[in-house]
Amino acid sequence: MTEKTAIPQASQPTRLTGAEIVWATLAGEGVRDVFGYPGGAILPIYDALRKYPIRHVLVRHEQGAAHMADGYARASGKVGVAIGTSGPGATNLVTGIATAMMDSVPLVCITGQISSKLLGTDAFQEVDITGITLPITKHNYVVTRAQDIAPVLREAFLIAHSGRPGPVLVDITKDAQQGLADFDFDAAAPLPHRPHPMLSAEHDAICEATELILEAKRPIILAGHGILDSGAMDQVRTLAERLHIPVASTLLGISAFPASHALSLGMMGMHGEAWVNQAIQQSDLLIACGMRFDDRVTGVLASYAPNAKKIHIEIDPSEVNKNVKVDVALIGDLREVLETILPQIAPRKDATWLRAVNALKGDAAVRDIKNLPDLGHLYAAHVIHDLWRATEGNAIVVTDVGQHQMWEAQYYKHDSPRTLITSGGLGTMGYALPAAIGAKIACPEKEVWVIAGDGGFQMTSAELSTVMQEHLNINIAVINNGFLGMVRQWQEFMYESNYACSPILSPDFVKLADAHGIAGATVRKRSEVLPAVEAARGSDKPFLINFMVEKEDAVYPMIAPGSALDEMIRRPSNGYNPLLETTEEP
């Protein structure tokens, strides 16, 4: 990188090329890191990069760029930026954009486009990316003139992080990049974001909700991703502590409420622990905070929480009464709504319900965890549990998708916000490695662990080169069972163990890592887990551990599709519990 230009001051509009305006606008928006891959239609933009103090991470596949921007955004709370060229570069971003859309992650994706004069002629590397991404972006733009670049980009950033966050795509034609225009960052400011017209947290509804909360005998807080987006962690905690309300979490809500807290129940839903789902089915009030009653969380809707009234605090009106009919809807910013309610909630001493729930916990914990036979096999649950212990629960963990993802949710206890990064809504395999790269660049001083299965890891393993090119110290745990584990589990439970196309052959991951210049080790026994983890942690270079785990292990409990929340398949009883190390519960 050669000498950098200072960002032009607002008072002196400068004449710049469209390409320079892109970087100047990004810099003005506070962007310091972007993830991308050059190409013909975006060359002018790449040529202008050298004049601006922004770090560009070269990926190996544009899907990686989108996931990196996503992991960056989730770890930092800022808007992530991914850049690709036209045609295949743009279409390669699509999976990552859809991933961000489903999990409400703020992204701005910039794609090059052929010259506006050639649009619609099936030119080389032309694709209608705005048409393709219509359903998976909050909004998207085609920019054909240099003078539109700054206002559009600034508006894109505003849309990406306002209200319910999400991805925005800006497609910039080559002639727009090459054209000249006056650049004035402040003049390009967008109109203030219009809040959704159907927000409503009126006084009457607040009073009704408060009354329900105070009267409830068996309340549960359902903690979702919205708590992190709204920054309402303290408010949720205060509410829970004042009335001893247990807190159940969605997958994406994990880390919004400290897992080690006495009131924390853990994850609910399809692979939630038994006591969480049982408590919900017995509850008389559900306080849903920033969650959307996804089908993974509710089981079959007809029998979901039959005795409970429901309060839904949610910023997106289209999510209210979508799956579950609620009794009180407070449609607005979670933190603001809770701030209005909390003054009416006085602390209480009665902890009867909490004790009842803990009693459920004791029994179910014994049944599920204790029934994992060891007999020399290595179980993923062991690996995750030991990793949690070794990192003291303080690492940022980025998972891929599948059985290991569910075991991570069950066995790694997250106490700090934004420390679990995982693809929930779309369930995108291949997410982990690039998202971890993004997270590490966002939080360089934090310890970052990838936990991926052998299937998902292979999908984006090329990004190991990115790890090396960027000199990132990321630790990688591959949970290797020779199968597409979750697919195999469903085939075992529901398709009479017809393992059609689920056994998968992988490379020797340690050799693969070595080919990239990354150190590694293979672990086959429980006794080898901790030494390998410590070797990874002790090194200031990236490290990959290939955990050869039990091939046909299943995630328990499991709620089969069509079953109610408390009709879960439990781990078969076997007497011996290898996970029980001391008297304290894992």
- For position 135 contacting another protein by CB under 8 A, the verdict is yes
CB 72 within 8 A of CB 439: yes
HEC assignment per residue over 151-193: HHHHHHHHHHHCCCCCEEEEEEEHHHHHCEEEECCCCCCCCCC
Count of residues binding another protein (CB under 8 A)?
Answer: 16
Looking at 56, 138, 161, 440, which residue binds another protein (CB under 8 A)?
138
Q: b/e per residue, 281-291, with b = 16+ CB within 10 A?
A: bbbbbbbbbbb
Q: Is 318 in the site for another protein (CB under 8 A)?
A: yes
Q: Is residue 316 involved in binding another protein (CB under 8 A)?
A: yes
Residue among 97, 159, 256, 451 that touches another protein (CB under 8 A): 159
Shortest Å, Cβ 297 to another protein: 19
* Cβ neighbours for 120, distance < 8 A, ≥ 6 positions apart: none
Stretch that binds another protein, among 106-114, 314-322, 419-427, 547-555 (CB under 8 A): 314-322
Our CB check for another protein shows the closer of 196 and 370 to be 196
Q: Which CB sits closer to another protein, 157 or 543?
A: 157
Q: Which of 141, 124, 72 is nearest to 466 (CA)?
A: 72
C-alpha distances in Å from residue 313, one per residue of 50, 120, 341, 406: 46, 45, 11, 26
Identify which of residues 127 and 395 has a Cβ nearer to another protein in the complex: 127
Q: For residue 429, indicate whether it is catalytic.
A: no
Q: Does residue 322 touch another protein according to CB under 8 A?
A: yes
Residue 540's identity, in one-letter code, is D
* Ramachandran angles phi, psi of 365, nearest 5°: -60, -45
Residue type at 154 in one-letter notation: R
Q: Which stretch binds another protein (CB under 8 A): 192-200, 223-231, 293-301, 534-542?
A: 192-200
Is there binding between residue 13 and another protein (CB under 8 A)? no
Question: Which tokens in the block code for residue 51?
Answer: 């004049």
Q: Which is nearer to another protein, 133 or 391 (CB)?
A: 133
Pairing outcome for strands 180-183 and 14-17: antiparallel
Give 197 or 575: the residue with its C-beta nearer to another protein: 197
Rule CB under 8 A: say whether 317 interacts with another protein.
yes
Cβ proximity to another protein, 194 vs 203, nearer residue: 194
CA 238-106-138 angle, 5° bins? 115
Do 265 and 247 meet the contact criterion of CB atoms below 8 Å apart? yes
For the CB of residue 145, give the shortest distance to another protein in the complex, in Å.
14
Residue 389 touches another protein, criterion: CB under 8 A: no
| 161 near another protein, rule: CB under 8 A | no
What is the Cα–Cα distance from 403 to 537, expressed in whole angstroms? 24
Residue among 197, 538, 562, 572 that touches another protein (CB under 8 A): 197
Q: Of these, 9, 321, 497, 574, which contacts another protein (CB under 8 A)?
A: 321
For another protein, which residue of 19, 149, 320, 383 counts as binding (CB under 8 A)? 320
Tell me: does residue 134 bind another protein (CB under 8 A): yes
- The reply to whether 233 belongs to the active site is no
What distance, in Å, lies between the first and last C-alpha atoms of the chain?
Answer: 49
> Considering only CA atoms, which of 278, 282, 276, 285 is closest in space to residue 216?
285
- 131 is a contact residue toward another protein (CB under 8 A): yes
**Least distance CB 544 / another protein (angstroms):** 39
Minimum Å distance from CB 136 to another protein? 9
Catalytic (active site) residue 257? no
For the annotated catalytic residues, the residue numbers are: 62, 124-125, 174, 486
